[in-house]
Structure 1
């Protein structure tokens, strides 16, 4: 890959336009920035994840778009190249999602890649973001963090990702829907243990709510307060001490089979109990150990 330099606010010799990634409010309309409003008023085209939702936003701020087009997960393959063609022809285009920053758990990344390939300037217009808003109010460490978005639907893939996240020292952040929240917290407890977390919902809205507790305490709280709305889950990372213990563990170089056999022989326990001990050592579920040994 050759070096590509973008001078965002210099005139383009080809006369092509620019792609603006415009943040929109995640709830409270007062979070819309002056710059975002001005940009949406000035561009030639606005590409929106949901044109009906965006029309409401534009109407509130008395913005009359010259042209409003649809760009979402279901049409991005076809519409992306067409939008880039319009920019190359000299049109300035603003991309917006329903809420927050485009391309963060929302459409946009592919369009950005296409624009970069054509040497089109891609300009961020910052604003509200649910994950970072949840992080800064969680009370958990902010020096190092990892945003994972929505977890995979497949249980095995979900557990593998949680295990990977749980082995990092930094705080990690997830998005989750209300009907899957409890199941996700149960998997989090199974894979990562009972860590401190924060559950943030309705951020910037009237019923904004942040629950700060351990995973077990949150699960108990949700039994009496059923989940409502989309959630951001902020999870405490592994401690430096935990990571060092795991790194220095005596079983680190052993295969799973050898690890189980070691416990069977040394502690004179059943294979089932030995697998439980191995699962505890490695920070995974007993089921993972059993399935891995079957393969």
Structure 2
């Protein structure tokens, strides 16, 4: 009998896991002995947070990162074929969403392996919930281009798309480029376009504020190196 592939949510930076990870999910995660993770050190630390008594050294970890070749992906699922369950852990939030874990899930479906997503925090949904923007029609666009010209085009395109489709547009940036992206949004979006900045979601210093672009000018918070979700609605 095959095992199953469990998608284990991670916290978003708040190590008080009781706030974001259901107790039954935490208990289940620590029963597995095989894991597919983005980073070995942080995954082990996370499991310790969930259960300080877990025998982590008895567990096996497969690392899925930018150095992992596609030919290795399928081999990670071999324990499932032997009847063992495997847990997938991303660096933050829900694995498989803006996350390389999606490749493993794709292969699992091809091999008729059951995939079980577990409940946990998603910065995308939490930001949308707190934004007051359209939650029935929205799109997550990941990272915008680094090149300044291309990024300007992308911002204008997303604003036009929001206008045309009445759709909330969500996107992110590398934390050390957050301030530059925020300034570009103010520079290239219309004054009446709504901008929500959702920063440090679930942390004690959480900030989720929605204002027209015109109201943000001269009043942007310092977002440098802080996990931030940007949302616009035109």
Range of TM-score over shorter length: 0.7 to 0.9
Q: 2:35 maps to what in 1?
A: 46
Structure 2 unpaired stretches of 5+: none
State the distance in 2 between where 1:179 and 1:67 align: 33
The equivalent of 1:109 in structure 2 is 102
Normalised by the length of structure 2, the TM-score is 0.84
Q: How many angstroms apart in 2 are the aligned matches of 1:52 and 1:219?
A: 41
User: Does the Cα contact within 8 Å between 2:9 and 2:95 map onto a contact in 1?
Assistant: yes
Q: 1:80 to 1:121 in 2, by over 3 A?
A: same
- For the residue of structure 2 that corresponds to 1:198, the secondary structure is strand
State the distance in 2 between where 1:219 and 1:122 align.
45
Task: Give, in angstroms, the shift of residue 233 of structure 1.
Answer: 0.8
State the structure with more CA Rg. 1
Q: How does 1:65-76 map to 2 (within 5 A)?
A: 65=56, 66-75=59-68
Higher relative contact order (CA 8 A, sep 6+): 2
- Give 1:1-295 correspondences, 5 Å limit: 15-28=1-14, 29-30=17-18, 31-62=20-51, 63-65=54-56, 66-75=59-68, 77-166=70-159, 167-168=161-162, 169-194=166-191, 195-222=193-220, 225-228=221-224, 229-236=226-233, 238=234
State the distance in 2 between where 1:46 and 1:77 align: 17
Q: Higher helix proportion, which one?
A: 1
Shift of 1:71: 1.8
CA separation in 2, counterparts of 1:156 and 1:77?
32
The structure whose residues are more often strand, as a share, is 2
Q: CA deviation at 1:157?
A: 4.2
Contact 1:46 1:95 (8 Å CA) reproduced = yes
What is the Cα deviation at residue 121 of structure 1?
0.9
Give me the whole-angstrom Cα distance separating, in 2, the residues matched to 1:235 and 1:99: 23
Q: State the Cα distance separating 1:124 from its structure 2 match.
A: 0.6
Structure 1 residue 193 displacement after superposition: 1.8
TM-score normalised to the size of structure 1? 0.68
**RMSD between aligned alpha carbons?**
2.1
CA distance in 1, matches of 2:122, 2:98: 11
- Figure out how many residues of one structure are paired with residues of the other and give that number: 221
